[in-house]
Structure 1
């Protein structure tokens, strides 16, 4: 039971980094954007927002900042609760959306919080 509680309390942190553009420049391009469709797509496994999400990401691709946009969307999605499916979907987004000009690298860190009984 304690193991399940620890897993339920796990915080998933996914980091995407672009290999083709400057991270600081991309941070400026995504700052203040909401990526609502991507957030909804990442949070809900039954979501139908993938096309809208891809459209949001393609808008960032012209600045070669699709990976940074995905990272930002993951952070927004995690505010509604963390889950492994967020990372799995985020990892597939470059291929799903045809972001061919970039390679995204994702690192996942699970942070566990302890609960006192």
Structure 2
């Protein structure tokens, strides 16, 4: 009886198993759950394919406004980038609210963007 108690205690503690290695947390959205209408603020566009896994999402820069999911207006002041489609582009990756990878293939992108010169046109396309 005492031997059974000791063996069950040893199996419960399991000193022979190695713990799983710790992986640093990277905030990456799961596939298919990116809501393009909620992206605004300070944006950094990543073009290096080696850093794609550390990006929030993948975008495609659409040349035609008619086919884009989001019309983007580039703000000069980051305080005014407070609604969908109003983006302030930064050169510092660490200070960006969202880091987006720019793909040259539309089928690999989560959503497409097109740039507009008129602030009132910026935003999501109604679907």
Q: TM-score, normalised by structure 1?
A: 0.23
Which is higher, the Rg of structure 1 or of structure 2? Answer: 2
Q: TM-score, normalised by structure 2?
A: 0.22
Bigger RCO (CA 8 Å, 6+ sep)? 1
- Larger helix percent: 1
